[in-house]
C-alpha cells in the first residue's frame, strides 16, 4: 500500500490549456498527507525532473510515484524509480487529445473547459487511489525442479531431449515403444531437409538415437507411458507407468512430442482400399520401399482426395447420441469422457506432407526400375516454400508425371492391374491411366486425438481443453505464439501439434524445449509466463470467506486451480497466467492480487465525481477496458485525432474475465449512468489473450443484466463490446452510440440515493 | 567472453528470439535498421486464417520488452563490422540520429505544419509523409523521427525552434560484446517491376499484395477503404495473380510460402467491403497446408470468388478507364482469354532482405540470399532470413534460434 505518494504532472505532454498548478493544488488539498508532493514539471522526461523526483523520494520518504502525462504505454523506460511503486495517469491520450465538448466541438487549446478539468481531476484522483490500494507483489517461486520431461522418443522427442541437455537440463524421456526412433525409423529416405533442398537422403535418425543414448544427462524409459501429471511448473510430479510398475519423477516442465498415427484406412475405401488389390497407403508403400519390396513399375500416387471427402468436411455433423456411460460403481468417480477427434478431415489437413511424400516415393519407383513410371494426380501440389526446389527436381525427373486431376474411379483389370479414371486433367477429361499399384495418402492423426496422453491430474480433466478446435492436435490458437496452450508448462512439438516434415519438427522441438526451459526458470523465479511474462503478482485467497462454490476452479482458462474434497480451491501459482478470471468469478470476493484487486477498482469507480443532476452536469459512464487490446486501441484513436464524449471514465482491467459484478454494482449505486466493457473477440477465432476471459465476461453480463432488471435498472445500461486492437477507428463511434442511448434513457434511477 | 546475445532485425522473428531468450534470463540486444520495431507484420492488415490484427501480437511483444530490463534495442541501427568467435564477438553498430529528444511531447501539430512531404516507405509508395513522422500504427518506440534531409528551409526554421527536436544530434557508433548472434533480417517484397509482363509499377491499378494490405488497413492511406489507386473507385472486379516472381527460375527459385493464403485472405477483404464484387484468383497450385484447409474451403464456398488454375500471360491497361486487361490461360480448360478487371493484385513473392547485400557476418548464403549455415560459429538464422515462412512458422523459428543462442553462450 502506498502511503506517501508524489504526484507529478508533465506540462509538455498534457497541454490543452489546463492549469496544472491549480490541479496539483486541488489534488494535494484533497488527499493531504497521502500526497505530500504535488508538482508540475515543464518536461517530465528530462534528467532534471528525474533528479528532483529522486530527491523527493529521499527527503519526503515517498513510497509511491504517480506520473500524470502521456499514456503508460509511452516512454516506459524513462520512469523507473527503485524501491517505490510507480504508476501513471493517462492525461494525454485519454484526456486532452481525445476530449471534445458535449456538442462535438473541440475546445479552445489555450483555455481548458470545465468538463476537461473535471475529467482530468477524476483521472488523477482515480490514479491516487489506485496506487494507494497497490502493494508491491512478492512473487511465488516454485520448488526449483529443473528437469525436463520429454514425452515421445521419435524424431521430435529425441531432438528435444538432446537440446534440453545441451542447455544444461537433466532430461527424462518417456517412449511407449521398446525402441527409440519413432516413425522416422521406418523411412527409407526423407525429403531434403537442408540446402540445396533437391534430393532425398537418409534421415539420420540413428545419430539422434545415439546422441540421446550416449548422454548421461538423459534418462530413457521405453515401453513407458505418462500415467499422471500433477503439480505445477517447476514442481510437477510425473507418474510414469513402466512394465515393472509405476515410478514417480519430479519434473519442471514437459515437452509433448508423441507424434502421430496413420489415419484409419476406412476413409480410403471409396478409392478401392481394402477391396482392390495393390491399393496401398503411403505409409504402407514406405514400408515396402524400406524392405526393398517395390515390384510395381507403374504407380499412381493419388493426392486429390475429394472422392473420399464429404462436400463440406467441416460442416457440423449431427453426431449420434453417445451411448450412456455405465454409472460408476458406488464410491468410484466417473471416468472422464475421452473424445476421439479423428475424422475424415485429417486427410486434407495432411495435404502438404502427402504432397512431398508422393514426390519422394515417385522417386523410389524410378530408382527401383529403369523405365519405372510414377503418376502424381493432385488437386494442388502443396509443396511450400523452399521445398519448391524438391518439387522442381522431381518434375525434371524422367518417369515422373504429374497432373491436376479429379479421380472418377479406380477399378481392377482382369490382369490385376488398376485403371485410374480421371477428369479435369491438364490433358483433358476421361483419361484412363493403367498402373500396377495405387498409393493413397496417409492422414496424420495426432496422438492427442485418440488419448489424453499427458493425463493431467487436474480438476478440469486429463486432456488439453481445446482439442476440438484443433482437430485433436495439441496446438495453439495464437498465430504469434505457437507454443501457448491452456496447460502451462506443457509445450507440444512435431506432428502432435501440426502435420509437419522432419525439418520443421526439428525446429519445433527446439522451440518447445526453449519454452519448457523458460517456464522452469520463470516458475523458479516466481514470475508469470506468457502473456504477462515477468509478473510477480499472483492470486491470493482469503479462504475464510470461501463458500466452495467452485466457480473459480471451473472458470480458470488454464486449469490452474484444483480443489480439495470440500471444494476449497487449491491454487497452483506456477500454472496461473495472472488474468484474474478467478477474481472476476468469485461472488464472495475472496480472491485478489497485491497490485490488482476488487477494492482497488471499486475505489477508483467511487472516486469518479458524479454530478447529481444529469441535465446540468451530464451523465457519467465507466468504461472497463481490456488493457491488452481495447486500451491501446483507445490510445491509438486519440493519437490519430479521434475524440469521444467527455463523460466517460476509462479504467483498464487485466482481462474482461477479471471483471467482478460488484464493480458494476459499485458504479450503479454511485449513480453512474452506464458501464461499457471493452474486450477481445471471442468464439473459435478468439483473440482474448487469456483464451476465455471475454467470453466468460459475456456470460456473467447476462446475469448482471438480470439482476439490474430486478432492481428496476434498464439492463442495457451495462454492455460488452468486442473490440480488436486495430478497430480504433470504430471505437469512438461505439462510445458515441452508447452515450446517445444513455442520454435518451436519462439518469440512472439510483442517482442521488 | 560474453553470455549476451545479439539479434539483428526487430521484426517478428527477431523480437521472438530476443524476448524468449531474455525471459530465460539472458541479456539481449536488438539492432533494427528502421526507426520502429515490428518489421513486415506491422504493415499487414490481418493475419490468416483468423483474420486477427498483427498489432495485437506486436503489442504483447512490446509489453514484454517494456517489462524486461534484459532487452536493449537500437533503432535506425546497423551492424557494420564483426570480429571474434563463438562466445566472444565484438560487434560494431552504427546508429543514425532520431532527431527528437526523449519526451512525451506530442509533435503531431508541429509535424503537420511542415510543408515538405516525401514518399512514405511504410505505405509502399501509396502515400506521402512529413519529414517529422511516426507513420507506423502503434509505433514502438512511440517517438517521432526527424528526417533532416527532407526538411525545406522553412521547415528547418520551425523544427529548429522546437525544444523537442534536435537538428544537431550526431550519428553514433557503439561496440557490443556478445557470445552469440541471431540473424533475423527478414524479407522484402520482390521488385515486381522486373516482371514487366505483369504491369506493376506501370499501371496504377496493378498493385502488389503488400500494397493491398495497406489499402485495407484502417491505419493506411485510404483509412481501410479498398480503392483503385487511379481514380479512387470501388473495385467491382478484382483479379489476384499468384506467384508474381515466385516459383520462377528467372526470379525467385522457390515458393514464397504465404502468398496463396494471403490472396485468399485478401479476397475476403474485398468481398467483405463490396458484397457485389467478383474476385478471381489465378494460381499454379493452391498451397494451403494443414489446418489452413478449412480456410480454403471457407473461401471456396463464396460463389463470387473463383479459383482458377491458370497462367497469366500478360497484362495491359485500358488507358481510357484505367481498367486492367489480363490475358490468362486456363490450365484445365486449355483456353486463353482476356478478362477486364478494375483492380489486379500481384501476389508478390518474398525475397530475403539480404539478397544482393554484403553481410558483415561470415556465414554462408545461398544464391537467393538465404542464410544456409553458420551454426558452428554461434550464428543462427531465424525466420525469413533462412527460408520463406509464415508468421506462425517464423515465431517457431525465432523461439528455436533463441535456445540455440543460449546453448552457445551458456556458462560464459
pLDDT in tens, B215-262: 999 999 999 999 999 999 999 999 999 999 999 999 999 999 999 999
Residue to mutate among B287, B295, B372, B375, with most A CBs inside 10 A, is: B287
What is the gyration radius of the CA atoms in chain A, in angstroms? 31
Q: Sort B397 into a burial class: Cβ within 10 Å, 0-12 / 13-18 / 19+.
A: buried
What average pLDDT does the segment B88-108 reach? 93
Domain with CATH 3.30.70.20 in chain A: 540-592
Pairs of CB atoms within 8 A across A/B: 256
Query: Residues 6 or more apart from A74 whose CB is under 8 A from it?
Result: A92, B104, B142
The answer to whether A516 and A491 are in contact (CB under 8 A) is yes
Strand order in the sheet with A279-281: A279-281, A437-440, A298-302, A373-378, A400-404
In this predicted structure, what is the pLDDT of residue A605? 98
What average pLDDT does the segment B152-174 reach? 96
In this predicted structure, what is the pLDDT of residue B105? 84
In this predicted structure, what is the pLDDT of residue A336? 62
Q: Report the first-to-last Cα separation within chain B, whole angstroms.
A: 6
In this predicted structure, what is the pLDDT of residue A129? 98
Residue range A1-135 forms a domain whose CATH class is alpha beta
Q: What is the pTM of this model?
A: 0.96
B61 to chain A, any CB pair closer than 8 A? The answer is yes
Q: Sort A607 into a burial class: Cβ within 10 Å, 0-12 / 13-18 / 19+.
A: buried
Cβ <8 Å between A385 and B334 = no
How many other C-beta atoms lie within 10 A of the C-beta of residue B51? 17
Look up residue A126 and give its three cell numbers.
Answer: 482515480
What does DSSP assign to residue A32? G
In this predicted structure, what is the pLDDT of residue A326? 53
Q: Is A730 helix (H, G, I), strand (E, B) or coil?
A: coil
CATH number of A263-443: 3.50.50.60
What is the gyration radius of the CA atoms in chain B, in angstroms? 22
The answer to whether A137 and A594 are in contact (CB under 8 A) is yes
Phi-psi category of residue A653: left, alpha or beta, with phi > 0 → left and psi -120 to 50 → alpha: beta
Q: Is B408 helix (H, G, I), strand (E, B) or coil?
A: helix
Nearest CB to A13 within list B53, B104, B256: B104
Q: Show residues of chain B in contact with A479, CB under 8 Å.
A: 47, 50, 52, 57, 391-392, 395
pLDDT tens profile B50-76: 999 999 999 999 999 999 999 999 999
The pair phi, psi for residue A365, each rounded to 5°, is -65, -45
pLDDT band for B377, please (50, 70, 90 cuts): very high
CB interface of B with A, residues 315-344, below 8 Å: 331-332, 334
Distance from the A687 Cα atom to the nearest Cα atom in chain B, whole angstroms: 7
Beta pairing class for A418-423 and A431-435: antiparallel
In this predicted structure, what is the pLDDT of residue B200? 83
In this predicted structure, what is the pLDDT of residue B263? 98
Q: How many CA atoms within 13 Å lie on the side-chain side of A561?
A: 26
Residue to mutate among B59, B259, B406, with most A CBs inside 10 A, is: B59
Q: Show residues of chain A in contact with B286, CB under 8 Å.
A: 379-380, 382
A147-259+447-525: CATH homologous superfamily? FAD/NAD(P)-binding domain (3.50.50.60)
Closest residue, chain B, to A45 (C-alpha) = B103
pLDDT tens profile B318-327: 999 999 999 9
How many other C-beta atoms lie within 10 A of the C-beta of residue B177? 14
pLDDT tens profile A589-618: 999 999 999 999 999 999 999 999 999 999
Q: Sort A564 into a burial class: Cβ within 10 Å, 0-12 / 13-18 / 19+.
A: exposed
Distance from the B303 Cα atom to the nearest Cα atom in chain A, whole angstroms: 15
Cβ <8 Å between A97 and B370 = no
Look up residue A653 and give its three cell numbers.
Answer: 482491467
Beta strands (DSSP E) in A132-285 are: 148-151, 171-174, 218-221, 225-232, 235-242, 245-251, 253-256, 260-262, 279-281
Q: Which fold has domain A540-592?
A: Alpha-Beta Plaits (3.30.70)
Average pLDDT by consecutive 10-residue portion of chain A (753 residues)? 96 91 96 97 91 96 96 86 94 96 94 96 98 94 93 98 98 98 98 96 98 98 98 98 97 98 97 98 98 95 96 74 52 67 97 98 96 97 97 96 97 97 94 98 98 96 95 97 97 98 98 98 96 96 95 96 93 97 97 98 98 94 97 96 97 98 94 97 95 95 91 94 96 98 94 75
In this predicted structure, what is the pLDDT of residue A324? 52
Cβ <8 Å between A349 and B290 = yes
Q: Show residues of chain B in contact with A78, CB under 8 Å.
A: 102
Look up residue A190 and give its three cell numbers.
Answer: 526423407
In this predicted structure, what is the pLDDT of residue A750? 86
Domain with CATH 3.50.50.60 in chain A: 147-259+447-525, 263-443
Cβ <8 Å between B104 and A426 = no
In this predicted structure, what is the pLDDT of residue B193? 87
pLDDT of B36 strictly over 90: yes
Nearest CB to B396 within list A46, A384, A507: A507
pLDDT tens profile B339-367: 999 999 999 999 999 999 988 999 999 99
Which residue, chain included where needed, has cell 485472405?
B265
In this predicted structure, what is the pLDDT of residue A331? 52
CATH number of A596-753: 3.40.50
Nearest CB to A479 within list B50, B103, B370: B50
Predicted ipTM of the assembly: 0.97
B309 to chain A, any CB pair closer than 8 A? The answer is yes
Closest residue, chain A, to B138 (C-alpha) = A636
The answer to whether A698 and A720 are in contact (CB under 8 A) is yes
In this predicted structure, what is the pLDDT of residue A79? 82
Higher pLDDT pick, B392 / A75? B392
Which residue, chain included where needed, has cell 471475454?
A694
pLDDT tens profile B100-132: 998 778 899 999 999 999 999 999 999 999 999
Distance from the A351 Cα atom to the nearest Cα atom in chain B, whole angstroms: 6
Q: Sort A207 into a burial class: Cβ within 10 Å, 0-12 / 13-18 / 19+.
A: exposed
Domain with CATH 3.40.50.2300 in chain A: 1-135
Element (H, E) at A676: strand A674-679
Tell me the DSSP string of B188-208. EE--GGG-GGG-TTTSTTEEE
Three-class DSSP labels, A686-723: CCCCCCCHHHHHHHHHHHHHHHHHHCCCCHHHEEEEEC
Partner residues linked to B118 by β-bridges: B129
B51 to chain A, any CB pair closer than 8 A? The answer is yes
Cβ <8 Å between A351 and B288 = yes
Closest residue, chain B, to A74 (C-alpha) = B142
In this predicted structure, what is the pLDDT of residue B91? 98
Cβ <8 Å between A498 and B291 = yes
Amino acid at each position: 500500500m502506498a502511503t506517501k505518494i508524489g504526484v507529478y504532472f508533465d506540462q509538455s505532454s498534457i497541454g490543452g490549456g489546463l492549469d496544472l498548478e491549480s490541479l496539483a493544488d486541488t489534488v494535494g488539498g484533497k488527499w493531504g498527507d497521502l500526497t505530500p508532493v504535488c508538482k508540475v514539471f515543464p518536461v517530465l522526461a528530462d534528467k532534471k525532473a528525474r533528479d528532483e523526483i529522486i530527491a523527493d523520494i529521499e527527503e519526503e520518504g515517498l513510497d509511491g510515484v504517480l506520473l500524470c502525462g502521456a499514456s503508460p504505454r509511452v516512454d516506459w523506460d524513462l520512469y523507473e524509480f527503485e524501491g517505490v511503486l510507480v504508476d501513471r495517469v493517462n492525461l494525454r491520450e485519454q484526456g486532452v487529445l481525445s476530449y471534445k465538448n458535449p456538442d462535438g466541438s473541440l475546445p479552445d487549446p489555450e483555455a481548458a473547459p470545465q468538463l476537461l478539468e473535471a475529467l482530468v481531476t477524476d483521472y488523477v484522483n482515480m490514479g491516487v487511489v489506485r496506487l494507494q490500494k497497490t502493494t508491491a507483489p512478492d512473487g511465488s517461486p516454485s520448488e526449483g525442479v529443473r528437469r525436463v520431461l520429454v514425452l515421445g522418443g521419435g524424431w521430435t522427442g529425441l531432438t528435444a531431449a538432446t537440446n534440453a541437455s545441451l542447455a544444461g537440463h537433466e532430461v527424462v524421456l518417456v517412449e511407449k515403444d521398446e525402441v527409440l526412433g519413432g516413425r522416422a525409423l521406418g523411412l527409407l529416405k526423407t525429403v531434403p531437409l537442408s540446402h540445396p533442398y533437391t534430393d532425398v537422403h537418409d534421415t539420420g535418425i540413428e545419430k539422434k538415437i545415439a546422441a540421446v543414448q550416449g548422454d548421461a544427462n538423459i534418462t530413457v524409459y521405453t515401453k513407458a507411458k505418462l500415467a499422471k501429471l500433477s503439480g505445477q511448473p517447476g514442481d510437477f510430479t510425473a507418474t510414469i507407468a513402466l512394465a515393472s510398475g509405476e515410478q514417480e519423477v519430479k519434473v519442471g516442465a514437459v515437452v509433448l512430442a508423441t507424434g502421430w498415427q496413420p489415419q484409419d484406412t476406412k476413409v480410403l475405401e471409396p478409392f478401392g482400399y481394402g477391396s482392390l488389390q495393390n491399393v496401398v497407403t503411403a505409409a504402407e508403400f514406405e514400408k515396402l520401399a524400406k524392405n526393398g519390396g517395390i515390384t510395381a513399375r507403374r504407380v499412381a500416387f493419388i493426392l486429390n482426395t475429394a472422392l473420399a471427402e464429404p462436400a463440406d468436411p467441416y460442416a457440423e455433423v449431427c453426431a449420434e447420441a453417445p451411448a450412456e456411460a455405465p454409472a460408476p460403481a458406488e464410491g468410484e468417480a466417473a471416468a472422464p469422457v475421452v473424445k476421439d477427434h479423428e475424422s475424415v478431415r485429417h486427410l486434407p489437413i495432411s495435404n502438404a506432407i502427402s504432397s512431398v511424400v508422393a514426390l519422394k516415393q515417385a522417386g523410389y519407383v524410378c530408382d527401383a526400375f529403369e523405365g519405372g513410371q510414377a503418376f502424381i494426380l493432385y488437386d494442388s501440389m502443396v509443396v511450400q516454400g523452399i521445398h519448391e526446389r524438391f518439387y522442381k527436381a522431381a518434375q525434371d525427373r524422367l518417369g515422373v508425371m504429374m497432373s491436376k486431376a479429379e479421380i472418377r474411379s479406380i477399378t481392377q483389370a482382369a490382369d490385376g492391374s488398376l485403371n485410374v479414371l480421371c477428369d479435369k486433367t491438364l490433358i483433358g477429361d476421361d483419361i484412363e491411366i493403367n498402373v500396377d499399384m495405387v498409393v493413397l495418402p496417409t492422414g496424420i492423426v495426432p496422438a492427442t486425438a485418440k488419448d489424453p496422453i499427458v493425463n493431467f491430474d487436474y480438476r478440469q480433466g486429463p486432456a488439453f481443453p481445446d482439442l476440438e478446435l484443433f482437430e485433436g492436435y495439441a496446438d495453439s490458437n495464437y498465430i504469434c505464439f505457437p507454443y501457448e496452450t491452456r496447460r502451462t508448462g506443457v509445450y507440444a512439438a512435431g506432428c502432435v501439434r501440426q502435420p509437419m516434415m522432419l525439418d520443421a519438427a526439428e525446429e519445433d522441438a527446439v522451440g518447445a524445449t526453449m519454452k519448457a526451459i523458460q517456464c522452469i526458470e520463470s516458475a523458479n523465479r516466481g514470475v508469470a509466463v506468457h502473456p504477462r511474462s515477468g509478473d510477480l503478482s499472483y492470486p491470493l485467497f482469503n479462504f475464510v470467506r470461501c463458500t466452495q462454490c467452485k466457480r473459480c476452479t471451473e472458470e480458470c482458462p488454464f486449469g490452474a486451480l484444483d480443489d480439495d474434497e470440500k471444494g476449497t480451491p487449491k491454487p497452483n501459482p506456477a500454472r496461473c497466467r495472472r488474468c484474474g478470471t478467478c477474481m472476476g468469478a468469485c461472488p464472495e470476493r475472496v480472491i485478489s492480487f497485491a497490485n490488482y484487486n476488487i477494492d482497488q477498482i471499486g475505489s477508483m469507480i467511487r472516486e469518479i465525481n458524479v454530478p447529481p443532476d444529469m441535465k446540468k452536469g451530464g451523465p457519467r459512464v465507466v468504461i472497463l477496458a481490456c488493457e491488452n487490446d481495447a486500451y491501446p486501441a483507445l490510445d491509438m484513436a486519440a493519437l490519430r485525432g479521434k475524440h469521444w464524449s467527455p463523460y466517460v471514465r476509462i479504467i483498464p482491467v487485466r482481462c474482461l474475465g477479471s471483471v467482478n459484478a460488484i464493480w458494476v454494482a459499485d458504479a450503479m449505486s454511485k449513480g453512474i449512468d452506464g458501464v461499457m466493457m471493452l474486450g477481445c473477440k471471442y468464439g473459435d477465432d478468439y483473440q482474448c489473450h487469456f483464451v476465455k476471459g471475454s467470453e466468460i465476461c459475456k456470460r456473467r453480463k447476462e446475469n448482471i443484466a438480470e439482476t439490474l432488471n430486478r432492481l428496476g435498472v434498464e439492463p442495457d445500461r451495462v454492455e460488452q463490446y468486442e473490440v480488436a486492437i486495430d478497430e480504433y477507428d470504430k471505437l469512438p463511434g461505439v462510445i458515441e452510440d452508447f452515450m446517445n442511448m444513455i442520454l435518451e434513457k436519462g439518469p440512472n434511477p439510483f442517482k442521488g440515493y | 567472453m560474453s553470455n549476451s546475445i545479439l539479434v539483428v532485425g526487430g521484426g517478428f522473428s527477431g523480437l521472438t528470439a530476443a524476448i524468449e531468450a531474455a525471459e530465460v534470463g539472458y541479456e539481449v540486444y536488438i539492432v533494427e535498421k528502421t526507426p520502429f520495431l515490428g518489421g513486415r507484420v506491422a504493415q499487414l492488415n490481418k493475419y490468416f486464417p483468423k483474420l486477427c490484427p498483427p498489432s495485437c501480437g506486436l503489442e504483447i511483444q512490446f509489453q514484454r520488452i517494456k517489462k524486461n530490463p534484459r532487452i536493449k534495442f537500437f533503432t535506425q541501427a546497423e551492424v557494420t563490422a564483426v570480429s571474434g568467435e563463438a562466445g566472444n564477438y565484438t560487434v560494431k553498430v552504427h546508429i543514425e540520429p532520431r532527431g527528437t529528444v526523449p519526451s512525451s511531447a506530442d509533435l503531431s501539430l508541429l509535424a503537420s505544419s511542415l510543408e515538405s512531404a516525401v514518399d512514405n516507405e511504410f505505405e509502399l509508395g501509396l502515400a506521402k509523409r512529413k519529414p517529422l513522422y511516426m507513420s507506423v500504427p502503434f509505433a514502438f518506440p512511440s517517438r517521432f523521427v526527424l528526417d533532416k534531409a527532407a526538411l525545406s528551409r522553412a521547415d528547418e526554421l520551425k523544427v529548429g525552434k522546437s525544444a523537442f527536436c534536435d537538428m544537431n544530434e550526431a550519428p553514433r557508433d557503439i561496440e557490443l560484446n556478445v557470445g552469440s548472434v541471431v540473424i533475423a533480417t527478414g524479407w522484402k517484397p520482390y521488385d515486381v517491376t522486373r516482371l514487366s509482363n505483369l504491369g506493376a509499377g506501370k499501371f496504377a491499378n496493378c498493385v502488389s499484395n503488400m500494397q493491398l494490405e495497406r489499402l485495407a488497413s484502417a491505419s493506411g492511406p485510404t483509412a481501410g477503404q479498398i480503392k483503385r489507386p487511379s481514380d479512387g473507385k470501388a473495385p467491382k472486379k478484382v483479379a489476384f495473380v499468384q506467384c508474381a516472381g515466385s516459383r520462377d527460375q528467372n526470379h525467385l527459385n522457390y515458393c514464397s510460402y504465404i502468398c496463396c493464403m494471403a490472396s485468399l485472405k485478401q479476397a475476403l477483404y474485398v468481398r467483405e467491403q463490396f458484397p457485389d464484387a467478383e474476385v478471381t484468383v489465378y494460381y499454379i497450385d493452391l498451397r494451403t497446408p494443414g489446418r489452413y484447409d478449412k480456410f480454403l474451403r471457407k473461401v471456396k464456398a463464396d460463389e463470387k470468388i473463383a479459383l482458377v488454375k491458370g497462367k497469366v500471360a500478360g497484362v495491359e491497361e485500358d488507358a481510357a478507364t484505367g481498367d486492367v486487361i489480363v490475358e490468362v490461360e486456363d490450365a484445365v480448360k486449355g483456353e486463353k482469354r482476356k478478362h477486364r478487371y478494375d483492380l489486379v493484385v500481384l501476389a508478390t513473392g518474398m525475397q530475403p532482405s539480404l539478397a544482393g547485400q554484403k553481410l558483415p557476418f561470415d556465414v554462408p548464403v545461398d544464391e537467393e540470399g538465404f542464410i544456409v549455415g553458420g551454426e558452428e560459429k554461434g550464428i543462427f538464422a531465424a525466420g525469413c532470413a533462412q527460408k520463406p515462412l509464415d508468421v506462425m512458422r517464423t515465431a517457431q523459428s525465432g523461439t528455436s534460434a533463441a535456445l540455440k543462442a543460449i546453448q552457445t553462450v551458456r556458462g560464459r
